[in-house]
Amino acid sequence: MMAMFALLSIFGSSAFLILLTLLHFLKPEISPWWRLISEYAIGRYGLLMRLAFWGLALGVLSFVMARVESGGGQFSLIALSVIGLVLIAAGYFVSNPITVADDDKTLTGKIHDFCGGIVIVGFPLTICFVKGNVLPLTMLVWLGFLYFIGSVIFYLSKTKTFGPKAKVGPANRLMMLTYALWLIVHAALLL
């Protein structure tokens, strides 16, 4: 059973990366330089981004199940389960465009932002407590996280709003790439 869940984790995390890459070609109007990946869920081909989030949720939740089989730590497994469930919600509730003012955001956009915040902050914190953690890969996740947070703070301090001058897109993509790669490598170690 552990091997099956580990393979499902690899599959789900890989599906996230493949779908996200595909969306860069299908929706070239979403600039990867200043738009966040969540915006791919808006409009045409939006279902693919939702499926990508659900694929990553499958990766996280399957990893949890594989770790339960191998006797992983309780705190990290509970926290990762919450992150997996929040990813399901993030896929269900579509984001607003990054340019929408806080006062004009839809309820679904606000829920997505809340879920995104939990994943963005919760994932790097939680993986520190996973038994058998590959330290260099965890450090890479933290670098991706800090690069994204640093980019957001830097550009908002200069521009005060998100838009074409706030180049947070690459940091957002790198951060999510490191999250998915962490899952793939750690699931593969369970095989």
Domain count, the chain: 1
Poorest-confidence range of 96-105, 126-135, 171-180?
A: 126-135
Containing domain of residue 164, as a range? 2-188
* Residue range 136-161: mean pLDDT, rounded: 86
Q: Is the pLDDT of residue 77 over 80?
A: yes
Residues 168, 17, 144, 65, Cα dihedral to 10°: 140
- Cβ proximity of 176 and 37 under 8 Å: yes
* Residue range 2-11: mean pLDDT, rounded: 97
Q: Which residue has the tokens 């469930």?
A: 85
**Confidence (pTM):** 0.93
Question: What percentage of the chain carries pLDDT values higher than 90?
Answer: 79
